[in-house]
Amino acid sequence: MANINPTASKYADLPYDNPPAVRYLPTTAAYDLWAAHYDHDANFLQALDSLAMKTLFPRLIAHVAKQPDGSPRPTPWKLVDLGCGTGRNTIALLDVPDAEVVAVDASPKMLEVAKGRVGEATKASGRTGEVRFGIVDLLENTEPPHMVQNADALVSTLVLEHIPCETFFRQAAQMLKPGGWLLMTNMHSEMGGISQAGFVDPETGEKIRPKSYAHTPAEVLAAAESVGLVVEGQLEERAVDESLVEALGPRSRKWVGIKCWYGGLFRKVG
């Protein structure tokens, strides 16, 4: 298991301006507080993740369309947004024809925002699909609840940072059908050795941080393989470069040259 919030002394001179006092909270409590501000927080890592999803998501759907023997996968597909947050990826799942979409999160407040966001997007676009929402806490569950079992695909972005690797992949494997697919992205351990998820509470001025793990790509691959989840190709790793700063926002500039993100697709075998 990766160390929690390790110190990376080689980055000690990274420029931080007037850092606020930090308060650590359990993950669910932190995200309950963050929910009202999450979509307006200029989070460059979320922006980087959204850029990567433009290629990862179509690849996922192309794989889900075929069973391991190459024949078409019967519909309706069950697609689970695992750790849906405010519904950023849930809306994309609704665009998949003939799919049953399930969106779950450990934070009730994040789910409230997701329901509102998905409802507004559905009304604005004329989408006819529906989403089943529910509370699922990977840290509390001994096994996944029925609503997320027997899935054809899981989408889980920027969630693994808060879950031990073994716990996350064990439950993801239990959720998937044989031959099912997982799209997973995460904060890179190079960034996690310096910082972690968090936000400034406008009520107190404190930096609120949940518990986080700096999982390395090698640890992720080993934990996935141990439960029969095999990566397609290799994990993609992304650093911030100057060409991305304008798209990601000014908060990304101090991370130029540092790997901040990785992700990929995993298939359940055996």
pLDDT, one tens digit per residue, over 15-25 is 445 667 899 99
Measure CA 243 to chain center: 24
As a whole number of Å, the end-to-end CA separation of the chain is 25
User: What is the phi/psi pair of residue 151, to 5°?
Assistant: -85, 145
Q: Give 122's pLDDT tier (boundaries 50, 70, 90).
A: confident
Look at strands 236-239 and 259-268 and give their pairing. antiparallel
Residue 110 lies in a domain: yes
Asked if pLDDT for residue 11 goes beyond 80, the answer is no
Cα 18 to Cα 197, 203, 207, distances in angstroms? 18, 18, 12
User: Could you tell me what percent of the chain has a pLDDT over 70?
Assistant: 93
Q: What is the Cα–Cα distance from 109 to 69, expressed in whole angstroms?
A: 42
Residue 154 lies in a domain: yes
Residue 1 lies in a domain: no
CA dihedral of residues 203, 207, 211, 215 (deg, nearest 10) = 140
Asked if pLDDT for residue 194 goes beyond 60, the answer is yes
178: left (phi over 0), alpha (psi -120 to 50) or beta: beta
**Structurally, how many domains does the chain consist of?**
1
Residue 195 lies in a domain: yes
Residue 9 lies in a domain: no
pTM over 0.95? The answer is no
Residue 17 lies in a domain: no
Work out the mean pLDDT of the chain and round it to a whole number.
91
Show the domain range for 29: 22-66+76-268
pLDDT, one tens digit per residue, over 61-96 is 999 999 888 899 999 999 999 999 999 999 999 999
pLDDT at position 19 is 67
The residue among 40 and 260 whose pLDDT is bigger is 260
Residue 152 lies in a domain: yes
pLDDT at position 27 is 95
User: What is the phi/psi pair of residue 200, to 5°?
Assistant: -90, 120
Residue 11 lies in a domain: no
CATH code assigned at 120: 3.40.50.150
Q: Give 128's pLDDT tier (boundaries 50, 70, 90).
A: low
Average pLDDT over residues 246-260: 95
pLDDT at position 40 is 86
pLDDT at position 15 is 43
